[in-house]
């Protein structure tokens, strides 16, 4: 039997992305977000939702660009820190001991030490309420050589990203492979 919990913004799992941008003075800044996902395959687009009060907001709008960096489990403390403080008062890269790298295709920085970086040109800013959804077209997707599989694409088991369980305030690791997609459902339900 299902219980109604009312209107709630919960989905399981959500990713944990680190949004990179430059502020007005050109200082590289990062913030952590979980309201994010892929939203179009061609052209490749991703979305991340950010509150207008966040320091990153103006930087993204001004330069019409952001990056999404995805961390491995070893950097969970730094990722959490990026969501706890504001770039208005702290140089988060310096405090975390991580390295900003200017993206090749857009005017925004990504985190060198994290295995994945998406370089995004801002395409739409959609005001939905307390969050504005930024839709970005992915102009380049970069991955550390060390997380690539034999076909040259990222291998999530090598990448070891983590996920967020909203409402619980907890990060979880990725578990074991469960099944092949576009395969396990063939003929198994008849």
- 33-92: contacts with a second copy (CB under 8 A): 34-47, 49, 68, 70, 73, 76-84
Of 24 and 103, which has the nearer Cβ to a second copy?
A: 103
Of 57 and 141, which has the nearer Cβ to a second copy?
A: 141
Whole-number Cα distances in Å, 117 to 17, 20, 101, 103, 186? 10, 10, 10, 9, 34
Between residue 14 and residue 33, which ones bind a second copy under the rule CB under 8 A? Answer: 14-15, 17
Q: How far apart are CA 53 and CA 65, in angstroms?
A: 18
Nearest to 31 by CA among 47, 49, 43, 18: 18
Contact pick of 57, 62, 64, 139 for a second copy (by CB under 8 A): 139
Of 61 and 163, which has the nearer Cβ to a second copy?
A: 163
Q: How far apart are CA 6 and CA 175, in angstroms?
A: 30
Between residue 116 and residue 135, which ones bind a second copy under the rule CB under 8 A? Answer: 116-118, 123-124, 126, 128-131, 133, 135
CB 67 within 8 A of CB 30: no
Q: Is-cis flag, bond preceding 106, omega within 30?
A: no
Stretch of 23-31, 59-67, 180-188 lying at the interface with a second copy (CB under 8 A): 180-188
Kindly state whether residue 10 participates in binding a second copy, applying the rule CB under 8 A.
Answer: yes
Q: Which residues sit opposite 38 in a β-bridge?
A: 46
Least Å from the CB of residue 65 to a second copy: 14
Least Å from the CB of residue 175 to a second copy: 3
Please give the full DSSP string across 12-59, using - where no structure is assigned: SSEE-EEEEEE-TT--EEEEEESSEEEEETTTTEEEEEEETTSHHHHH
Least Å from the CB of residue 171 to a second copy: 4
Task: For residue 22, report the phi and psi dihedrals to the nearest 5 degrees.
Answer: -100, 140
Of 24 and 91, which has the nearer Cβ to a second copy?
A: 91
Kindly state whether residue 150 participates in binding a second copy, applying the rule CB under 8 A.
Answer: no
Between residue 155 and residue 174, which ones bind a second copy under the rule CB under 8 A? Answer: 155-156, 159, 161-174
Least Å from the CB of residue 72 to a second copy: 10
């Amino acid at each position: 039997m299902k219980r109604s919990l009312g209107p709630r913004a919960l989905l399981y799992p959500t990713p944990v992305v680190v949004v990179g941008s430059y502020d007005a003075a050109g200082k590289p800044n990062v913030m952590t977000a979980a309201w994010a996902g892929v939203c179009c395959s061609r052209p490749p687009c991703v979305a991340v939702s950010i509150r207008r009060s966040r320091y990153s907001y103006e930087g993204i709008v001004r330069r019409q660009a952001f990056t999404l960096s995805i961390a491995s489990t070893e950097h969970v403390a730094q990722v959490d820190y990026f969501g706890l403080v504001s770039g208005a008062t702290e140089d988060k890269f310096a405090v975390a001991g991580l390295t900003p790298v200017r993206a090749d295709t857009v005017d925004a920085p990504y985190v060198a030490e994290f295995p994945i970086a998406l370089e995004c040109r801002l395409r739409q800013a959609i005001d939905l309420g307390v969050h504005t959804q930024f839709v970005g077209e992915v102009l380049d997707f970069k991955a550390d050589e060390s997380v690539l599989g034999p076909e040259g694409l990222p291998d999530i088991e090598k990448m070891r990203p983590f996920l967020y369980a909203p409402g619980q305030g907890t990060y979880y690791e990725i578990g074991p492979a469960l099944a092949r997609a576009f395969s396990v459902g063939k003929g198994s339900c008849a």
